[in-house]
């Protein structure tokens, strides 16, 4: 991994931890664990692009049609037509604003730019929009401007011109919503998002698991941690650590070995959520 890639990875991971901490103050651990998308905490490496400028909707790092959804859809222009080079576009089922197009990326992802177009076969487009992001698909936050207000991005003024908005700072998300603010006619849209996945096929991921009878693991380390992202990082840095448990109430972080060898205190995890190291 190049130096520039490593710096970007570290920056993205730091932002990811801060977002995890923010969401934890907003919802309970039980709420968080109900979201399958949030169960992947981090994978600690980039994909194949050190420039972080991949197409994330269509292309090698793109998503399936099922990963593109919307607030509503008109029957003749469904969401799979929202891809940037489509011969039509996605259209909501009514006029007005606050319609949105949503994409769930393959992995937790660094977002760098948003590209939009109008509907190819009609004078319908989104002239301005706001952006909301999420790690879990449940808890959302808007991208903000320099004064702390919701950022409104300039959109399209015709059917086919591609308008690109670069995102400032490091934006990390698993989900994105592009929400119409103003437009012409039905707020139809074609969309691309550029950036790069934090994940890759060779990287460790953490997935939540509900312990059952027989899940008895030896405690490698029992320490303090500020949030579950930091607890996961501590496990990553311990070569023998295969899983961890973070207690939100006490801010305790327990790191576990994968096998019982008799030299460590063990914990029975029956009925307890914990995080297990896996590979995608």
**Residues 35-90: tens digit of each pLDDT:** 333 333 344 333 334 568 999 999 888 999 999 999 999 999 999 999 999 999 99
Domain 206-277 CATH assignment equals 3.50.4:
yes
Residue 201 has pLDDT above 50, yes or no: no
Q: What confidence tens digit (pLDDT) does each residue in 209-249 have? A: 788 888 889 999 998 877 666 787 788 888 889 898 888 77
Q: What is the pLDDT of residue 48?
A: 39
State which CATH number among 2.60.120.200, 2.60.120.260, 3.30.70.20, 3.40.1350.10 fits the domain covering 54-197. 2.60.120.260
Sheet holding 243-247, edge to edge: 204-210, 273-279, 243-247, 252-256, 216-224, 266-268
* Whole-number Å distance between alpha carbons of 22 and 91: 33
Nearest Cα to 124, choosing from 211, 189, 42? 189
In the chain, where the domains are located: 54-197, 206-277
* Whole-number Å distance between alpha carbons of 141 and 37: 16
């Amino acid at each position: 991994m190049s130096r520039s890639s490593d710096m970007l990875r570290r920056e993205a991971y730091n932002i990811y931890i801060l977002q995890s901490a923010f969401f934890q103050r907003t919802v309970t651990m039980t709420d968080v664990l109900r979201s399958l998308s949030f169960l992947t905490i981090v994978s600690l490496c980039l994909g194949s692009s050190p420039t972080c400028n991949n197409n994330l909707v269509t292309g090698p790092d793109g998503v399936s049609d099922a990963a593109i959804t919307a607030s509503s859809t008109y029957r003749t222009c469904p969401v799979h037509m929202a891809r940037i080079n489509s011969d039509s576009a996605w259209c909501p089922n009514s006029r007005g604003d606050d319609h949105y197009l949503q994409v769930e990326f393959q992995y937790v992802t660094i977002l760098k730019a948003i590209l939009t177009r109008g509907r190819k076969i009609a004078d319908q487009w989104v002239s301005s929009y706001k952006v909301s992001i999420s790690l879990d698909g449940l808890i959302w936050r808007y991208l903000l401007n320099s004064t702390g207000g919701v950022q409104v991005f300039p959109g399209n003024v015709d059917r086919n011109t591609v308008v690109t908005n670069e995102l400032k700072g490091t934006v990390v998300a698993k989900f994105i919503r592009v929400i119409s603010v103003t437009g012409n006619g039905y707020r139809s849209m074609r969309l691309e998002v550029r950036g790069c996945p934090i994940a890759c096929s060779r990287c460790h991921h953490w997935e939540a698991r509900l312990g059952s009878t027989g899940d008895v693991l030896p405690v490698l380390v029992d320490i303090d941690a500020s949030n579950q992202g930091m607890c996961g990082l501590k496990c990553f840095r311990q070569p023998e650590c295969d899983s961890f448990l973070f207690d939100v109430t006490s801010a305790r972080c327990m790191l576990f070995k994968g096998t019982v060898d008799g030299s460590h205190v063990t914990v029975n995890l029956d009925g307890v959520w914990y995080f297990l190291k896996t590979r995608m």
